[in-house]
Structure 1
Amino acid sequence: MCVRYVVVISMVLTLFAATAHADEGQDRYNAGDYERALKYWQPLAENGDTQAEFGLGLLYETGHGVAQNFDTAQNWYRKAAEQGLSDAQNALGAMYDVGRGIAKDDVQAIEWYRKAAEQGNVRAEVNLSNMYRFGLGVPRDINLAIAWLQKASDAGSPAAQSNLGGIYISEDGGKDYSKAAILFQKSADQGDPGGQNGLGIICAQGLGRPKDASCAVDWYRKAAEQGDPHAEVNLANAYADGVGVEKDMCQALFWYRKAAEHGNVQAHKHLQYFLQDACILKG
């Protein structure tokens, strides 16, 4: 399982412990009252409050309460990042990572991820590990990738746990299925779709335990219902092959379409195959 996560910003954050106004802005944001969050954050940000600067960056990146503007978002993130706020450093790194509101630059992404990770920011630790794992802006180094993921995993990050579990079922991690299963379970217990899909793979392939196709389908479904494209494809495959569930091509197509809508290349290939097959049958 080779999945690259860019952990930018969770839509429900617990970031602010500064001024009462900044805290109230965060409360408003979490409640979906984006206009009032903007009203609280704007004057604070203009006076150099890092938490409020980051809050404005978040509003402009997501387009909540304001017209979405990635350039404005990265400008606010940069102000906070340059003052040392780790969440802003991670967010700015992610914008460089994917080229959102700024030219894609893996080296700059690494720099900002590292600044945040060295402050113990778990999202940045996950992102930095991905850069090392895939050799983006830095020589590929699986040991450093594992080390950064381990730090984030120990801090309880479900994304780190599922990513690290993925490494341990690959050649990169020496195929330690027991470690992988433990990590996937910890992640899944927090409701993380990556961990749920990982447990599905463990069950489906019988990695370190007897194969259990029904168990695999149960976990794939939990993750697929949260919109995980890898799980959607896995669940579609189960329906297409009738493994762990009664064969149902309508359900298979439904989940392949879902995965394709989420950008999964494998799902697109499956849909093309079914379309060609349908055309042959009609002919």
Structure 2
Amino acid sequence: MSSRKLGLTALVVFGSLMAVTFLAWDGIAARINDRALDRFEASDIPTARLYWATLALTGDATAENNLGVLAQRGYDMPPDPDLARAHFTTAADKGSAVAAYNLARMGKDRYGTDPEEVRRHIALLKPLADAGDPHAAAEMVRRLYFLNRAEILGIGEGLSDLRVSYARQAAESGSPVYLYLLGQTLEERYGETGNLADLGEAVEALLAALDLGEPRGASALAGIAWQTPARDLAGLPAAFSARDRFGWWKVAADGGLLSAKCAIAVNRLREISRQETLPQAAQAPGPLDAETEEALAYAEDCATATRETYRVDNSPFGRPALYAGRPTGSYPALSNSPAYAAKILGIVYAEGRLRPRDPDLARHWFQRPLKEGFPHIEDMLNAL
């Protein structure tokens, strides 16, 4: 065999061995990452960190991203945003879409009053979303929500259409959370344009999200039933029309959504309080109807909830690498908040309506709205 042929043969053999080695290493790295995830789920954070730190030394982007998650969330150490940002940047430079997504969500100015920050985050997310990543598409919907986005990005009046486009792309993944996001986004555009096709598609998306186990779909349907003019409700699916707002809130409450319990409690008890013939409990201590009893029980659940408990868990991002970037919903509107439910319970016991008058319990329930700055609570306490 000539020296040239021998050299070519050696090169081919060497290349084949390297390919086998790389393939074998990919399998080993995947097994190490799985073992690290198992240790993380078992709350053995130091061991998980050691596995990922070792993998990161080999240039593994997934491990680098997961080290960023540990630093960002403060697992077994104080949160370190700068260290997290460094890990995410390194992983993103190595091609990790998850790390680029996490890096975008780490912006100092989350609500986008800094135009440069907005442009930087969109620049990270848009290529991922346009390449078909549903998580990035969903985050684009959220990033494009604020009104100043059109001005910052220079896209004229097409902002709501762009949001809907990304919401549809995210929903194509079949995720119930993204179907819920699509329903919300379409309902929002319906509110802007009055387009009944958007409303119909929103209801269908929310019903589909609910069928897949997303209870917030039912809560959103309650909002549509409550706020939409009757003339626009006529052509909506029968599955939606079969329940009123309280019926949909009940579906959401039965699905474990605390905010739906708060909505039922606050709205039912407010409606009852407007009845001129509402009996004093001390004078008429007979049993209450089931809906009122349920509303009072829900009010106590709501009024005792912490902000963290109340905040709706919104984890659409699955587990592409660790539990990266799981956001939570925002704190609710004041009118359905735990403090408002506590205020209503205070009034119930202060006035002796629905329950026998009990000044001590009234004072107890009034403390939360007092601390959160509700008006007139001091006057109510003084009246006791």
Shorter chain as denominator, the TM-score bin is: 0.7 to 0.9
Indicate conservation of the 8 Å contact 1:77/1:89, yes or no.
yes
2:102 is the alignment partner of 1:34: no
Counterpart in the other structure of 1:280: 380
Counterpart in the other structure of 1:240: 269
Counterpart in the other structure of 1:252: 299
2:230 is the alignment partner of 1:219: no
Q: How many Å apart are 1:32 and its aligned residue?
A: 3.7
Change (3 A) 1:236 1:271: closer
Change (3 A) 1:221 1:54: same
2: CA distance, partners of 1:78 / 1:190: 35
Aligned length: 263
1:180 is aligned, of 185, 189, 202, to 202
Q: How many Å apart are 1:149 and its aligned residue?
A: 0.7
Q: How many Å apart are 1:177 and its aligned residue?
A: 3.3
Counterpart in the other structure of 2:363: none
2: CA distance, partners of 1:105 / 1:236: 41
Change (3 A) 1:214 1:193: closer
The alignment partner of 2:144 has SS state of helix
The alignment partner of 1:105 has SS state of helix
Structure 1: runs of 5+ lacking an equivalent: 1-15
Indicate conservation of the 8 Å contact 2:164/2:186, yes or no.
no
Q: How many Å apart are 1:92 and its aligned residue?
A: 0.6
1:264 is aligned, of 332, 340, 344, to 332
2:161 is aligned, of 140, 143, 165, to 143
Counterpart in the other structure of 1:7: none
Indicate conservation of the 8 Å contact 2:246/2:264, yes or no.
no
Counterpart in the other structure of 2:143: 131
Change (3 A) 1:232 1:112: farther
Q: Which amino acid aligns with 1:279?
A: D
Q: How many Å apart are 1:145 and its aligned residue?
A: 0.6
Counterpart in the other structure of 2:221: 199
Structural mapping, 1:76-155, within 5 Å? 76-96=87-107, 105-135=117-147, 136=149, 137-138=152-153, 139=155, 141-155=159-173
- Which of the pair has more CA radius of gyration? 2
The alignment partner of 1:36 has SS state of helix
Change (3 A) 1:232 1:95: farther
C-alpha RMSD of matched pairs (Å): 3.5
Q: How many Å apart are 1:61 and its aligned residue?
A: 1.7
Q: Which amino acid aligns with 1:270?
A: Y
Indicate conservation of the 8 Å contact 1:122/1:157, yes or no.
no
**Offset from partner CA, 1:79-109 (integer Å, 9 cap, x none):** 111222111111111111655xxx9922221
1: CA distance, partners of 2:379 / 2:300: 16
2: CA distance, partners of 1:37 / 1:153: 33
Change (3 A) 1:41 1:281: closer
The alignment partner of 1:191 has SS state of coil
Change (3 A) 1:35 1:200: farther
Q: TM-score scaled by structure 1?
A: 0.76
Change (3 A) 1:186 1:97: farther
2: CA distance, partners of 1:232 / 1:46: 49
Change (3 A) 1:239 1:167: same
Structural mapping, 1:4-19, within 5 Å? 19=30
Change (3 A) 1:97 1:68: closer
The alignment partner of 2:131 has SS state of coil
2: CA distance, partners of 1:198 / 1:31: 35
**Offset from partner CA, 1:184-219 (integer Å, 9 cap, x none):** 122223333432322333455574325524522323
The alignment partner of 1:134 has SS state of coil
